[in-house]
Amino acid sequence: MASLVPCPHCGQRPKEEFTIKGAALTRPAAGAEAADWFDYVYLRDNPRGAYEEYWHHTSGCRRWIVVTRDTVTHDVAASRDAADRARSEART
Amino acid sequence: MSDFRPILRPALATKKAVASAALKLSPLPEGTILHVLARSGEQDIVPLLDSLAKPAAHAVRPVSPGQWFIVHEEPMHHKEMKSLFAALEPRATGVDQSHGRVRIRIEGKMASRALSKGTAVDLDPSAFPIGQSAVTLIGHIAAHLTRVAPEAFEIIVLRGFAESLWDDLARMSLEYI
């Protein structure tokens, strides 16, 4: 099965070119409670359906991207550069 | 003192030529490859790169957002390279990769067919026209691919992987030889 991942810079590429980091969570503030950090580091939801993940295009443009993917169907709804996502979050 | 003396030789000097009417694989001269990295926020330095590269007939190849290779057949004099790097500052930084990366040329009417065995990039001329570049896996080796002519591609690969990639390409080309 060919799993294609759309890279916002390179277009459709096979998953072999990427490295998955995991869920794209919002990082707690530096001075947050230990419990918040524990959750951020160790606790993960395991949703059936839409999921935001960090992928690294290791063998391509070497950019971190955030892929919105369905864990059941592997349909990719969105894919954007992680820096753009961080910028748009900083604005809100 | 050790008797071992490192000898600088082209990475693909010992490789046998792979050539036929349909496909030809050839190592390109180890001239100049400069890696240019733009400072963050400086995404549009292409006009600057063109203005620096064009007069000296160097080629500019996009690598990824904010990164380019400047490629030339001949080795660049240290003084010339220094002034080029100085001209890039402060908007971008240049790194000499001339000895770190090797260029391979694959040409002929079967070149894109052979390459397609190793990469998932669509190499049809409509999707990948002359001058287009892509960084991709060829087999298990990451390489930079550029279409330089209607039926010719230039591959830039890390020096340590050059021999492996050459052997892979030679095997991928066997049926067209």
A45: distance to nearest CA of chain B, Å?
32
Residue B1 lies in a domain: no
For residues B51 and B138, state if they share a domain. no
Angle subtended by helix axes B46-53 and B78-88, to nearest 10 = 160
Which of B74, B96, B118 represents a domain boundary (last residue)? B96
Low-confidence residues in chain B, pLDDT < 50: none
The yes-or-no verdict on residue A92 having pLDDT over 70 is no
Residue A32 lies in a domain: no
Which residues in chain B are closer than 8 Å to A18, comparing Cβ atoms? none
Are B24 and B106 in the same domain?
yes
Shared domain check, B170 and B104: yes
Average pLDDT, chain A: 90
Q: Cβ of B65 and A63 within 8 Å?
A: yes
Which CATH number fits the domain that encloses residue A62? Answer: 3.30.2270.10
Query: Which tens digits make up the pLDDT trace of B40-60?
Result: 887 788 888 888 887 888 899
| Chain B residues near any Cβ of chain A (below 8 Å) | 63-65, 120-121, 134-137, 142
Residue range(s) defining the domain that contains residue A76: 7-27+37-91
Report the residue from A2, A4, A59 with minimal CB separation from B142. Answer: A59
B69 within domain boundaries = yes
Collapsed DSSP state (helix, strand, coil) of residue A12: strand
> Quick one: residue A82, left, alpha or beta (phi over 0 = left, psi -120 to 50 = alpha)?
alpha
DSSP class of B176: G
CA distance B147 to B128: 7
Residues B49, B79, single domain; the answer is yes
- Picking from A10, A62, A81, the nearest residue to B134 by CB comes out as A10
Are B65 and A59 in contact (CB < 8 Å)?
no
B10 within domain boundaries: no
Closest-CA distance, A92 to chain B, in angstroms, reads: 20
Question: B34 and B97 in contact (C-beta within 8 Å)?
Answer: yes
The angle formed by the CA atoms of residues B94, B146 and B44, to the nearest 5 degrees, is 45
**Per-residue DSSP letters for B46-58?**
HHHHHHHHGGGT-
Does B142 contact A58 at a Cβ distance shorter than 8 Å?
Answer: yes
Contact yes or no for A9 and B142 at CB 8 A: no
CB-nearest to A14 from B64, B120, B134 is B120
Q: Which residue of A has its CA nearest to B135?
A: A60
Q: What pLDDT score does B151 carry?
A: 93
Give me the domain span that covers residue B59.
32-96
Here the CATH number for the domain that contains residue B59 is 3.30.70.260
**What ipTM was assigned to the predicted interfaces of this complex?**
0.84
Continuous segment of H or E residues that includes residue B80 = helix B78-88
| Per-residue model confidence (pLDDT) at position A87 | 80
Whether pLDDT at A2 is above 70 = no
Question: Do B85 and B137 belong together in one domain?
Answer: no
Residue A85: band (very low, low, confident or very high) from pLDDT cuts 50, 70, 90 = confident
How much is the pLDDT for A1? 38
